């Protein structure tokens, strides 16, 4: 994205290149060297852009420790949302141009959790690639909060997660699908024949479930806490495959998302429905102030049709 525009006002002469430098410095963790690599320029060039902007504004934008940038000043904090909005508009204009000239070609970056990428999206991605063979798909796996930040800052076109997306003023969200947790046990486990397991009974067994912050784990913890129970969680993992493996090995009773159970892979395991932890909704999110490319909109429509009732 080449940016050479100069904004002239009575008191300011700001180059968009200077604002771009601030933006990339922030999203690269205040690492000027890393930001310079992304922008294909030198660290000294970025330092000059920052100095020129701070000279125009007559105040510091970044907090410094020696030569290192460590954060944003109050002025920088106030400035950043406006910079992000400017580049959201620039991306929209760029996307309009690309859709007009090359509607079937480009890159679509999806930020999502491991659970979505592993268990929910494969069929969608296969169908999408059949429809748009020249579009490069990039899957970035992260925790829900990071996913939201990646979409807000333009590092991803689309975010898919259960937590952290809906209540964000910068994001426009589309409902994807609803899901619940299930319990998994070995076929010969004493719980295998039951269909209604109460919380005290469940808490009496060693449990294996998700790591904190992923796939409804916070709700699982809260549900037990509100019931006055302290379960023995012997293992926490990011991946339902890992949870299933250790349940199969007899380490404990598993609690996983229902879409993550693969009976063909784990024929020695039984899935038991459970309603104690409630229903969850996975959301698809884009920036609220910019539009993704047409093939990105097609991807969202494929997702929305995935669980539609005939």
Specify if 159 maps to a domain. yes
Same domain, 230 and 81: no
> Domain with 232 in it: what CATH number?
3.40.190.10
170 and 119 in a single domain? The answer is: yes
Task: Assess if residue 97 is contained within a domain.
Answer: no
Same domain, 58 and 174: no
In angstroms, how far is CA 173 from the centroid of its own chain? 12
Domain that includes residue 214, residue range: 181-278
Asked if residue 98 is part of any domain, the answer here is no
100 domain-assigned: no
17, 82: one domain: yes
In a domain, 34, yes or no: yes
What pLDDT was estimated at residue 9? 57
60 and 18 in a common domain: yes
pLDDT per residue, tens digit, the chain (310 aa), is: 444 545 555 566 778 889 989 988 998 889 999 889 888 899 999 999 999 999 988 999 999 998 899 999 999 999 998 888 888 788 888 888 888 888 889 999 999 998 899 999 999 999 999 999 999 999 999 988 899 988 987 889 999 998 778 778 789 999 999 999 999 999 999 999 898 899 999 999 999 999 987 888 999 999 999 999 999 999 999 889 999 999 999 999 999 999 999 888 889 999 999 999 999 999 999 988 778 999 999 999 999 998 876 5
**CA distance to 92, 132, 133, 306, per residue, from 103 (Å):** 14, 9, 12, 24
Q: Is 276 exposed, middle or buried (0-12, 13-18, 19+ CB in 10 A)?
A: middle
Whether residue 64 lies inside any domain: the answer is yes
Domain C-terminal end among 91, 114, 130: 91
Residue 99 located in a structural domain: no
**Shared-domain flag, residues 205 and 143:** no
Q: How many domains does the chain have?
A: 3
Say whether both 185 and 263 belong to one domain. yes
Final residue in a domain of this structure, among 61, 91, 121:
91
Angle between helices 294-306 and 122-131 (to 10 degrees): 140
Verify that 146 and 292 share a domain, yes or no.
yes
Specify whether 159 is located in the same domain as 238: no
The pTM score is 0.76
Spell out the residues 6+ positions from residue 131 whose beta carbon is closer than 8 angstroms to its own: 298
User: Do the domain assignments include residue 43?
Assistant: yes
Q: E-assigned strands of the chain?
A: 6-8, 13-15, 62-65, 68-72, 106-112, 135-141, 158-161, 171-179, 181-186, 207-210, 233-237, 253-257, 269-273, 280-287
Q: Are residues 217 and 299 in the same domain?
A: no
Residue 87 sits in the same domain as residue 203: no
Q: Which of 119, 163, 170, 116 is nearest to 140 (CA)?
A: 116
User: Does 80 share its domain with 213?
Assistant: no
| Chosen domain end from 39, 65, 91 | 91
What integer pLDDT is reported at residue 267 of this predicted model?
Answer: 92
Residue 66: CATH number of its domain: 1.10.10.10
- Measured in degrees and rounded to the nearest 5, phi and psi for residue 60 equal -75, 145
Give the integer Cα–Cα distance in Å for 262 and 120.
12
pLDDT at 101: 86
Task: Give the tokens for residue 100.
Answer: 């007009």
Asked if 209 contacts 238 with a C-beta cutoff of 8 angstroms, the reply is no
CA 85 vs. chain centroid, Å, equals: 20
């Amino acid at each position: 994205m080449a940016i050479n525009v100069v904004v002239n006002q009575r008191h300011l002469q700001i180059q968009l290149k200077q604002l771009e430098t601030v933006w990339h410095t922030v999203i690269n963790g205040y690492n000027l060297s890393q930001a310079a690599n992304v922008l294909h320029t030198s660290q000294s060039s970025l330092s000059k852009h920052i100095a020129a902007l701070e000279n125009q504004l007559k105040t510091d934008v970044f907090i410094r420790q020696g030569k290192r940038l460590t954060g944003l000043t109050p002025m920088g904090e106030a400035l950043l949302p406006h910079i992000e909005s400017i580049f959201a508009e620039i991306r929209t204009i760029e996307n309009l141009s690309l859709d007009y000239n090359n509607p079937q070609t480009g890159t679509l970056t999806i930020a999502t959790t491991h659970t979505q990428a592993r268990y929910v999206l494969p069929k969608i991605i296969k169908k999408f690639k059949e429809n748009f063979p020249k579009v490069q798909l990039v899957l970035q796996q992260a925790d829900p909060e990071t996913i939201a930040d990646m979409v807000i800052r333009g590092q991803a076109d689309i975010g898919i997660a259960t937590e952290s997306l809906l209540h964000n003023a910068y994001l426009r969200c589309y409902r994807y699908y609803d899901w619940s947790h299930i319990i998994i046990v070995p076929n010969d486990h004493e719980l295998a024949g039951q269909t209604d397991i109460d919380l005290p009974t469940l808490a009496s067994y060693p449990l294996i479930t998700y790591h904190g912050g992923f796939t409804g784990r916070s709700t699982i913890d809260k549900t037990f806490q509100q019931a006055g129970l302290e379960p023995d969680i012997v293992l926490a993992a990011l991946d339902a495959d890992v949870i299933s493996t250790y349940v199969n090995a007899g380490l404990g009773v598993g609690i996983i998302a229902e879409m993550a159970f693969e009976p063909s892979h784990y024929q020695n395991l039984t899935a038991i429905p459970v309603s104690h932890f409630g229903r969850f909704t996975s959301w698809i999110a884009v920036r609220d102030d910019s539009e993704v490319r047409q093939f990105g909109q097609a991807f969202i429509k494929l997702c929305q049709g995935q669980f539609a009732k005939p």
